[in-house]
Amino acid sequence: MSRSVVGAMPMTIYADDIYRPVRPVLGKAAAWISKIHLTTLNDKLKDMTPQYIQRSRNEIVQHAKAIQYIIHAFVTEKQDLSEESIKETHRILATGVPISVREGPDIPPEDYGGVYRIIIVGASSCNFTVSKFVPAKMQEMCRQLKEELAATEEKMTIDPFSIAAKYSLEFVQIHPVQDGNGRICRMILNAILCRYAGIIVPIGEHVEERKEYIGKHQEAVQRGNERTWRSLTV
């Protein structure tokens, strides 16, 4: 299936262009080809730049690859949810997705993907772990998770919802990376639920769900209480 585009530059756009990365060799022309095709699928994209559309595509693709990696490692291969595993998940997530900076150049993914942040970050009234303490906090979190899972498996009794809530909340309170903490937090939550409860919990599919998620997140972080966070999964 193809579509002819009427204009100064004759071209043919194929239906599978949406799945292809913008080819560097074609530069802006390829970007606009992708944009023209995408706007035929979704009129809301017509005011977006080709770079924005391509970035959004990369975010979706890399998110799928990252969740696939962590599920395969932790659920299928029964590996520990280690620092190395979490870092690799984040590196995959960040690939092809630079951080947009309001003033100054974008931060390339290779500069922040899979590495702990060295800057101070905060959100609303939430203060996260000071950067110099992040490595120690992450090491402690992963050690505690490993020990708790080993103990519950030995007893053959486990509450996967409480454990998933506890450690995904702890991760987001540490906020170890410069960008993508929320997405990795939800991947950790779902990796634990998938392995021990056999389910995946989609969070924020709809506007009202996203509002509830943000509200629960802020409340849980401020109180340091995983019960609030747990309520999102049950």
Within a domain: residue 219?
yes
pLDDT exceeds cutoff 80 at 234: no
Q: Which CATH number characterizes residue 73's domain?
A: 1.10.3290.10
CA dist 34 and 11 (Å) reads 12
Please, what is the average pLDDT of the chain?
A: 80
Eight-class DSSP state of 2: E
Residue with tokens 């995904």: 168
Within a domain: residue 20?
no
Within a domain: residue 28?
no
R_g (Cα) of the chain, nearest Å: 20
- CB of 131 within 8 A of CB of 120? yes
Within a domain: residue 71?
yes
pLDDT exceeds cutoff 70 at 229: no
Taking phi over 0 as left and psi of -120 to 50 as alpha, with beta for the rest, 204 belongs to left
Percent helix, percent strand, percent coil in the chain, to nearest 5? 60, 5, 30
Within a domain: residue 109?
yes
Eight-class DSSP state of 172: H
The reported pLDDT for the residue numbered 20 is 43
Within a domain: residue 132?
yes
Considering only CA atoms, which of 88, 79, 102 is closest in space to residue 184?
A: 88
- Most confidently modeled of 51-60, 66-75, 95-104, 200-209? 66-75
Name the burial class of residue 121, with classes exposed (0-12), middle (13-18) and buried (19+) by CB atoms within 10 angstroms of its CB: middle
- Most confidently modeled of 171-175, 206-210, 218-222? 171-175
pLDDT band of residue 19 (cuts 50, 70, 90) is: very low
Within a domain: residue 35?
no
Number of domains into which the chain is organized: 1
Within a domain: residue 22?
no
The reported pLDDT for the residue numbered 214 is 73
The reported pLDDT for the residue numbered 25 is 40
Q: What is the tens place of the pLDDT at every residue in 73-130?
A: 999 999 999 999 999 999 999 999 999 888 889 999 999 999 999 998 877 667 799 9
- Structural domain harbouring 74: 51-230
The reported pLDDT for the residue numbered 170 is 94
